[in-house]
Structure 1
């Protein structure tokens, strides 16, 4: 009887244990089933970081120096002494104007001076002699005064002849047209045998200095004032050393090898557009940059010490185009946060407002979610 009772007790215990095991398995299965039904998302935790803010602006290359060759005397072009498109140095002879007329003018002025100087010697002796004679009244006062006046007139003529010689020499020198600067000379707009006029409006040729070159960069006054305000109130650190550096992106997307420097003293306002024209200077030893080329200039605005950056794929837009992100709260539920973005920095959006440090921003799994649902969230 005792044996049967013991067996019954054992059977009851085994059945109880089996029931507990089945209940536990059922709970785990339900929990696992619920987990399988929740959307899975991956998120990043927002952490402020230090970034250098840069702005990409259109720019146009202009020559560092440009010198149109204008004749300073009139005459016939006898020779052209340069090859079009070649490099010339300051002082190189470019054109020769027929100088025969100017040479004759110089010779005539020299002859006039020589004659006047010869007369001067005789007239000075005469004045000296008359100064003795007037003491004894051997000559009239009128004769003496006339001689002194003639001497003064002759000395004035000598000064005039010297000035004429100087002017004639200058005009003769102008017949030899030389390069005012070093650089690349372009097409010659006149040929040998053509007649030119002094200070004519159209140049004979143009020399441009390409090393270095300027890049003119337009920027709105409002943007510049906003930048100054941010620096003034500490939103940005100025980073003056960085701001002096300008990067250049060429038309084919290639980054130019050399960095340029902003020439702040060349800031001018365009009256027609209301924009400010910044000017940067770049080295151009291989003449890769040519005047008139359109480029993109990358200007450093300043340093943001606590910038918030999120991956581009985490940012969505509503039907109005307003950007927003999904954020996981403490209950593993999704919330929408509207944000303001400024620019892309290294494939991430720079967020101006809407997020704070510690926010969990969903990056992957966005296509299967909606606001206010529970999710299985895991950090990236």
Structure 2
């Protein structure tokens, strides 16, 4: 009897163990892992500017080297070095004593020439009636007329000499050829200068407005022209924005003026020139800057956030889109550039595609997902009481 009771007890224990295993297997099926929730955005084509960023340097709008036009000793410097000067403002004073004397001499010569011309003219007029009466020969009268004309020519010559002397006297005051910022004086008071010297007295630069010259590869410009001719893109804006050497943004926008008609053989680049207002004088000639402008506009591009785009080992870009049956489909795309913090996709997408932008890290091609609009608020469900009920049942069975 004791042996039979033991066998029945062992059989009950085995049956309970099998029932427990069956119950555990059924519970595993009921708690199958759910499909991952992903956030998506619906993409539509938009006109996206083809932005170009090129390095360049600032160039003065106008530059003038101040040079003397007469020789002499500098008596005074009449400007503040590094300041702003106006066109026509006196900058240097050259010793004018010799030139003032030349003016006086030319003036006296003119008076003498006028007197001689007056006498010659009167003489010719007196000879005319005498020649008519044949009191004198016609040759004498002709000579008197010639002398009068020569005297009048001498008056014109001495008048021109007087004007030249006055101009030279005026040049002893060296004026500013243009308005702008003037640098340091390269000659001091007491220095001897001459009209044919190679060195400038000072340099004036006009920096408002100011030019920015940038270099673009001729290959890039050729590709852009082909795209414009093919109709894939349209012409962009001529507005230019600058980033300064310290990374800050220049607050005022400029305009592209022109591009050169020849390629630099040494660098293979073409120079583009933009003009910027510079009322505060923040931009100085020779500064290195980064110029950004829209050379063209792509009318059918897609903008995607950085989180949506990934690259494979070969560097090719791809995204995941929600396909039929809520399947994650891996799609190869073309994304060669960015716009601010987003990627610009020019091939691989269609209007209305649902591109996954959230929860892409663990996705695989063909995986079933639960798509929701990106940045949707997460709904937290309260924990199920299955575990608690099971524990209570187990306790009751115990």
For the structure 1 residues 58 and 31, does the alpha-carbon distance in structure 2 shift closer, same or farther, using more than 3 Å as the test? farther
Q: Which residue of 1 aligns with 2:289?
A: 295
Q: Which residue of 1 aligns with 2:29?
A: 30
Deviation at 1:328? 4.0
Matched, 1:120 2:113: no
| Equivalent of residue 262 in structure 2, options 249, 266, 269 | 269
Deviations 1:200-239 (A, max 9, x none): 3221101111211111222233333433444444433435
**2:49, 2:118 → 1: CA distance?**
82
Q: Is the 8 A contact 2:328 2:369 kept in 1?
A: no
**1:28, 1:230 → 2: CA distance?**
62
Q: Which residue of 2 aligns with 1:73?
A: 70
Q: Structure 1: where are the runs of 5+ without partners?
A: 1-21
Deviation at 1:198? 1.0
Deviation at 1:332? 4.3
Matched, 1:246 2:240: yes
Normalised by the length of structure 1, the TM-score is 0.83
Deviation at 1:335? 4.0
Q: Is the 8 A contact 2:322 2:371 kept in 1?
A: no
For the structure 1 residues 26 and 305, does the alpha-carbon distance in structure 2 shift closer, same or farther, using more than 3 Å as the test? farther
Deviation at 1:177? 0.5
| Equivalent of residue 90 in structure 1, options 81, 87, 90 | 87
Deviations 1:232-259 (A, max 9, x none): 44433435xxx13222222222222222
Q: 3-state DSSP class of the match of 1:224?
A: helix
Structure 1 window deviating more from structure 2 (61-70 vs 49-58): it is: 49-58
Q: Which residue of 1 aligns with 2:349?
A: 355
Q: Is the 8 A contact 1:216 1:277 kept in 2?
A: yes
Q: Is the 8 A contact 1:75 1:196 kept in 2?
A: yes
| Equivalent of residue 260 in structure 1, options 254, 263, 278 | 254
Q: 3-state DSSP class of the match of 2:114?
A: helix
**1:196, 1:320 → 2: CA distance?**
69
Matched, 1:57 2:86: no
Q: 3-state DSSP class of the match of 1:33?
A: coil
Q: Which residue of 1 aligns with 2:102?
A: 105
Deviations 1:164-185 (A, max 9, x none): 1111111111111011111111
**2:26, 2:185 → 1: CA distance?**
94
* Corresponding pairs, count: 352
Q: Is the 8 A contact 1:39 1:368 kept in 2?
A: no
Alignment of 1:298-313 (within 5 A): 298-313=292-307
Alignment of 1:1-380 (within 5 A): 29-30=28-29, 32-35=31-34, 41-238=38-235, 243-264=237-258, 267-272=260-265, 273-370=267-364, 372-379=365-372, 380=374
Q: Is the 8 A contact 1:328 1:377 kept in 2?
A: no
Deviation at 1:323? 2.3
Q: Is the 8 A contact 1:210 1:287 kept in 2?
A: yes
| RMSD over equivalenced CA pairs, Å | 2.7
Deviations 1:110-138 (A, max 9, x none): 11111011111111111111112222332
Structure 1 window deviating more from structure 2 (266-275 vs 176-185): it is: 266-275
Structure 1 window deviating more from structure 2 (38-47 vs 216-225): it is: 38-47
Deviations 1:87-125 (A, max 9, x none): 111111100111222222222221111101111111111
**1:69, 1:225 → 2: CA distance?**
42
Q: 3-state DSSP class of the match of 2:32?
A: helix
